Amino acid sequence: MLHRPAVTPLELGEPSMARLLVVHHTPSPATHSMLLQVLEGARQPDIVDVEVASVAALAASPIDVIGADGYLIGSPANLGYLSGAVKHFFDTIYYPCLEETRGRSFGVYLHGNDDCTGALAATETITTGLGWKMAQAPVVVTGAPQAADLERCWELGAAIAAGLS
Ligand SMILES: Cc1cc2nc3c(=O)[nH]c(=O)nc-3n(C[C@H](O)[C@H](O)[C@H](O)COP(=O)(O)O)c2cc1C
């Protein structure tokens, strides 16, 4: 007699779990410190029904994006725009994800030496095209991140994750 293997909850997926995808370009200690705070906020134990995935912008795929319920984007400002890595991410996922991700929530954190205006404007333009909704005020840090800046990163992660629960 053939025995059918039991289908475990893992195989079925966890339908009650929302998924937050953090897509980031992290080339330096300053940006890394911001990423760590965003992740710590998003993964705070009070938020029990949201799983958080973190993926480098150059490795993120349309499948990652379609499979998530909301997004956090992290980028340095480079040459007055988003980093090439995050621009490449958006170039890669834009049309494959356009229909399926419309209306989803996102947040963004940016780091620059002195001016992130162009990077923020680019984020707004691209995500408007995608139909994503900015669910929290952007966190923009220039220069070495201070304790208050890192706290804003933590709060951003926590608020975006809590919004998905
Ligand atoms: C090629 C290049 C271009 C950059 N352009 C900008 C820029 O337009 N505006 C800005 O504020 N910072 C700019 N920066 C600084 C980066 O944003 C900064 O290096 C990055 O956020 C990492 O921070 P850190 O170098 O303090 O660790 C640039 C850096 C590089 C390497």
* Arithmetic mean of pLDDT, 6-22: 68
Instruction: Tell whether the torsion through CA atoms of 120, 125, 130 and 136 is positive or negative.
Output: positive
**Measured CA distances, 3 to 6, 8, 10, 11 (Å):** 9, 15, 19, 17
Top pLDDT among 130 and 16 is at 130
**Measured CA distances, 144 to 74, 123, 156 (Å):** 16, 22, 18
Residue 118 Cα: closest atom of ligand 1: 8
* pLDDT of res. 131: 98
* pLDDT of res. 16: 76
Question: How far, in Å, from the CA of 113 to the mean position of ligand 1?
Answer: 5
Regarding the beta carbon of 30 and ligand 1, being less than 6 Å apart is answered: yes
What superfamily in CATH does domain 19-164 come from? Flavodoxin domain (3.40.50.360)
Which residue has the least CA distance to atom 3 on ligand 1?
78
Per-domain residue ranges for the chain?
19-164
- Helix, strand and coil percent figures for the chain, each rounded to 5: 45, 25, 35
